[in-house]
Structure 1
Amino acid sequence: MTLILPSAACNAHCHVFGPRSRFPYARGATFVPKEDAPKEALYALNDRLGLSRCVVVQSSCHGFDNRVTEDALASRPGDYRGIALLPTHVRDAELQRLHAAGFRGVRFNFMGHLGRHTPIEEVIALATRIAPLGWHLQIHGDPALLTDLAPALRRSPTPVVIDHIGRIDAALGQNQPNFQALLQLMADERFWVKVSGMDRITRLGPPYADAQAFARTLVAEFGNRVLWGNDWPHPNHAGLIPDEQQLVDLIAAIAPNPAAREALLVRNPERLYQFGDNP
């Protein structure tokens, strides 16, 4: 049965790639998409699925050149927000410019396949500079490395969003140390988590029954600090590319009542990404 989403539902994690003729991929990028995934395709998908709001996350294939994400926001001002990739020495004037364009956070990758990691102390120093804007840190990390980073992340003066259920291994169960470490982080009110990426952490494949349990626990225990996104167009995906409608329908399995879905899809992203405020 197709799930009907609440009004103003948000896809809080997706990307745009290219077109490369207008937005070339970064020289030395750790990966280059086989096909472009332009903003028009994203708009069409979100509209079809009933997702009127969206957060576009700058991808490492475009590096620190955030123009491709900025362009996607400009065509749907107010309803689309962005997460940037930035060097930690970025100028304050550039942060202000990106804020006016609709950006609300900066992402750091701590995954081995995405290249060199930014020193965590530099990340925390940047967090101090973005805090006045109401921005947050978004952390995409290998679960073991994320545990190592936890003491520093707890010093962040801004909210910290953990991507894709912390990239834990669903086959290891909820008592595994990596998931317990994520729960300990979430006990701190400054931490948020994206219950996206069930298709990445599963070992069973669709409909991701092993991964659903983790997402359901996070929604139940931290319902005011969870976010959902479909991760379109699923870069660097090792398994079967998900069915987009199935991902939406599975929201009912992880947020089993209307109040939980309203928080997950509307109220939480509205608060974190400042929807309704002028870009």
Structure 2
Amino acid sequence: MTSTLPPGACNAHCHVFGPRTRFPYAEDASFVPEADAPKEALYALNDRLGLQRCVVVQSACHGFDNRAAEDAVASRPSSYRGIALLPTHIGDAELRRLDVAGFRGVRFNFMGHLGRHTPIEEVLSLAGRFAPLGWHLQIHGDPALLTDLAPALRRSPTRVVIDHIGRIDASRGLGQPDFRALLGLMAHERFWVKVSGMDRITRQGPPYADALPFAQKLVAEFGDRVLWGNDWPHPNHAGPVPDEQQLVDLIAEMAPSESARHALLVDNPQRLYRFGDQP
């Protein structure tokens, strides 16, 4: 069955790659995609799925050169927003420029396959500088590292968004320490979570029956601080590439009521990313 999404539904996590002839990949990139995934392909996919709003997350393959993501946002300035990758010494003027360009936060990777980890105190210092812009921290972390970082993250001066259900291992069940640690963070009002990445935390594969209960619990308990995205084009994916329509159809199972789906797809993204607020 094909799901009907509410007007203004948001894909809050995806990427663009290249095209490399215009936006070359970083020389020291932790990975280089086999094929480009340009903005035109992203627009076509979101339009086909009924996702009218979108958040383009800067990919590690482009490093700190945010031009590809910025270009994708610039072509749809009212309905698309960006999340940057930035060095912690970035100047305040560049932060303000990116804010005007539609960026709303900075992502930090704490996954082993994505290279060196930025010291958390430097991350929090930068967060203090972009807090006046209303930006947030986005954290993509191995679950063990995320647990270790939890005390520091609780000191964040801004909201903190945890990617992909904290990258927990779905086979270990709802009672596992890593998921309990994520629930502990979510008990604090400044924390949000993306119920994306069921295809990454599963150990059974589609239709992700082992992963679905984690998303359902997060939506049920923290419905005003959850976000959904499809993670297109699924970089560094170990298993079979997900079926995009199947990922959309699973929204109805993780958020079974109309009000829960509206919060997940419309209200929460609007509060965090401020669509349509052109300067």
Q: TM bucket by the smaller chain? A: over 0.9
Residues 204-237 of structure 1 show CA distances to partners (whole Å, capped at 9, x for unaligned) of 1101001000000000000000000000000000
2:146 alignment partner in structure 1: 146
Counterpart CA distance in 1 for 2:151 and 2:30 is: 28
Counterpart CA distance in 2 for 1:22 and 1:10 is: 27
1:190 alignment partner in structure 2: 190
Amino acid at match of 1:109: N
Return the TM-score normalized by structure 1: 1.00
Residues 104-137 of structure 1 show CA distances to partners (whole Å, capped at 9, x for unaligned) of 0000000000000000000000010010000000
2:244 alignment partner in structure 1: 244
1:35 alignment partner in structure 2: 35
2:4 alignment partner in structure 1: 4
Whether 1:21 and 2:26 are equivalent positions in the alignment is no
Residues 126-176 of structure 1 show CA distances to partners (whole Å, capped at 9, x for unaligned) of 010010000000000000000000011000010000000000000000000
Amino acid at match of 1:157: P
Q: Secondary structure at the match of 2:118?
A: coil
Counterpart CA distance in 2 for 1:275 and 1:64 is: 24
Amino acid at match of 2:197: G
Deviation (angstroms), 1:94:
0.2
Counterpart CA distance in 2 for 1:275 and 1:70 is: 15
1:179 alignment partner in structure 2: 179
Amino acid at match of 1:51: L
Counterpart CA distance in 2 for 1:165 and 1:242 is: 17
Whether 1:76 and 2:76 are equivalent positions in the alignment is yes
Counterpart CA distance in 2 for 1:262 and 1:51 is: 13
Amino acid at match of 2:133: L
Counterpart CA distance in 2 for 1:215 and 1:276 is: 28
Amino acid at match of 2:79: D
1:229 alignment partner in structure 2: 229
Whether 1:276 and 2:276 are equivalent positions in the alignment is yes
Amino acid at match of 2:7: S
Counterpart CA distance in 1 for 2:114 and 2:184 is: 26
Deviation (angstroms), 1:276:
2.8
Deviation (angstroms), 1:275:
1.4
Q: Secondary structure at the match of 2:158?
A: coil
CA contact (8 A) 1:270 1:276 kept: no
Counterpart CA distance in 1 for 2:125 and 2:278 is: 27
CA contact (8 A) 2:77 2:276 kept: no
Structure 1 runs not aligned, ≥5 long: none
Structure 2 runs not aligned, ≥5 long: none
Whether 1:200 and 2:200 are equivalent positions in the alignment is yes
Residues 170-202 of structure 1 show CA distances to partners (whole Å, capped at 9, x for unaligned) of 000000000000000000000000000000000
Return the TM-score normalized by structure 2: 1.00
How many percent identity over aligned positions? 81
Amino acid at match of 2:129: R
Whether 1:65 and 2:65 are equivalent positions in the alignment is yes
RMSD: 0.5
Counterpart CA distance in 2 for 1:78 and 1:160 is: 23
2:262 alignment partner in structure 1: 262
Deviation (angstroms), 1:277:
1.3
CA contact (8 A) 2:251 2:261 kept: yes
